[in-house]
Amino acid sequence: MTKCIISLGLWFIAIFIVSSLFVPAHPPGGVTVPYYFALLLIPLAVYSCARHCDRIVIAICYGLLCGFFFTFPIFPDLDLDLRYGIYSKGRVYFIFTLVVTLSTLSCIASIYIWRSIHKSKEAEQGAAANP
């Protein structure tokens, strides 16, 4: 379990570095389209770490953490945007909820995909060993 958490921590740092390449430093801020493709690394991280520990709880926590953390660059000047009416609070809440939920669900799906592939391989190996 310790290997899994350390590995997910390293993946988190790697995703942070890759995603930070796509956040422009100059106004108006926000993110570019490749930022969203960098977020596809989140379920890949859970999938690659599933061999160490395939617990759903770790996938849920990692998905929530990444979803919450990586949503903030989408709104660089959130207080000003809300003050001047560029975004409504409902829209901001909706986007935050959507990103966090999709991140968590994709992590859970990657665990289930890993389990199904791993169990099918075990079944094939068991059938080959017992003809």
Q: Which domain holds residue 96?
A: 2-129
Buried b (16+ CB within 10 A) or exposed e, 84-99: eeebeeeebeeebeeb
Tens-digit pLDDT string for the chain (131 aa): 788 889 999 999 999 898 888 877 666 666 777 888 888 899 999 999 988 887 899 999 999 999 998 888 777 767 776 777 777 778 888 988 998 999 999 999 999 999 899 887 777 776 666 66
* Confidence at residue 105, expressed as pLDDT on a 0 to 100 scale: 95
Contact 94, 73 (CB under 8 A): no
Whole-model pTM: value is 0.80
Q: How many domains does the chain have?
A: 1
* Confidence at residue 110, expressed as pLDDT on a 0 to 100 scale: 93
